[in-house]
Structure 1
Amino acid sequence: MSFTGEQHPGVQAPTAESQGFRLNHTMVRVKDPEKSLAFYTRVFGMRVLRKLDFEELGFSLYFLARLEDGDEVPEDKGQRTVWTFSQKGLLELTHNWGTENQEDFAYHDGNAEPQGFGHICFSVPDLDAAVEWFDANEVEFIKRADQGKMKDVVFVKDVDGYWIEIVEAARLANIGA
């Protein structure tokens, strides 16, 4: 691999100690796992790779991925756990037990003040077809592709109000500076 990354103030060369590190997953907390799992599996075609319950701590973790043809996921739970933690680009949904029964309970989405976490992003093969799919599934839009200053970028919300950016890579060749 000859590409070493763009250089900007603050960028430092990777060290030997960080060799082999990879981003495995991003975690968001969810109020009701049944509703969140329905959304991510139906609308985005994700599959639950592994659910881990922590009874003494009162929470569960659901690791989701958009599996590709040829992915060989182990059937054995222990081997599947190891496999799950060796992947790239997973979504972890964390459910703190009992939140689904609290009518007014909601997590901060990171986009209201004070801002923090912003969004996750899915790349799709056809943005127009994805928008039609979201409309057919009554997904809430924050921004459509023809709105705002950033054209060809869509934002939708999941059932907990988290923002999800939707992009078609081929449309982004000339985005930004």
Structure 2
Amino acid sequence: MAFDTEHEPGVAPKPPAETAGFRLNHTMLRVKDPQRSLDYYSRVFGMRLLRKLDFPEMQFSLYFLAKLDDGEQPPEDVAERTQWTFSQRGILELTHNWGSEEKTDFSYHDGNAEPQGFGHICFAVPDLDAAVRWFDSNDVDYVKRPEQGKMKNVAFVKDPDGYWIEIVEPARLGKLGQS
């Protein structure tokens, strides 16, 4: 029998038919300075900006980024690219509330300080050691390096707004969580 789901209390025995086609599309982070955050995610993580949507009446902008596969080509047409963006997996939406970049004492809660809530986003990398060297050469701030703490082979870095980003190499995680 093919794997369907791990079984834990609260997990539905099978997905309701009405959820066929549902897909987690994106996660949203609020950012103080879009230029700084766009530089970070595009330069350090290689993400591409798929769409920017402005909402002047509500004074905010949305930036949709993704790490595209080699050869992956989003549509040129803006309407088609917007539809394509909202049909993908693993999109990062950065939300900028206009004017926040001008407030020197303003910052967003990272979710890891008390009271805790949101925790982190995660990037899988093909080579954790190479990724660490890349982060070091780009002066990325660490929460935890792979050799630190009880969870080895997992790193956490911070983005410009202090949000945590977990960095994992899937090949090193086969025994994660096993006694």
Paired with 1:74 and 1:116, the residues of 2 have a C-alpha distance of 36
RMSD of Structure 2 on Structure 1 (CA):
0.9
Quote the offset at 1:70 in angstroms: 2.6
Measured against aligned partners, the alpha-carbon deviations of 1:80-135 in whole angstroms (never above 9, x if no partner) come to: 00000000000000000000000011000000000000000000000001001001
| Partner AA of 2:26 in structure 1 | H
Paired with 1:144 and 1:156, the residues of 2 have a C-alpha distance of 8
Aligned to 1:146: 147
Quote the offset at 1:2 in angstroms: 2.7
Quote the offset at 1:137 in angstroms: 0.3
Kindly indicate whether residue 94 of structure 2 is the aligned counterpart of residue 93 of structure 1: yes
Task: Give secondary structure in 2 for the equivalent of 1:133.
Answer: helix
Alignment of 1:17-166 (within 5 A): 17-166=18-167
| Partner AA of 2:8 in structure 1 | H
- Structure 2, gaps ≥5 residues long: none
My pick for the range that moved more, 29-38 or 70-79, is 70-79
Aligned to 2:15: 14
Quote the offset at 1:158 in angstroms: 0.2
Paired with 2:72 and 2:59, the residues of 1 have a C-alpha distance of 32
Question: Matched residue pairs, number?
Answer: 177
Quote the offset at 1:71 in angstroms: 1.4
Paired with 2:47 and 2:56, the residues of 1 have a C-alpha distance of 25
TM-score by length of 2: 0.97
- Structure 1, gaps ≥5 residues long: none
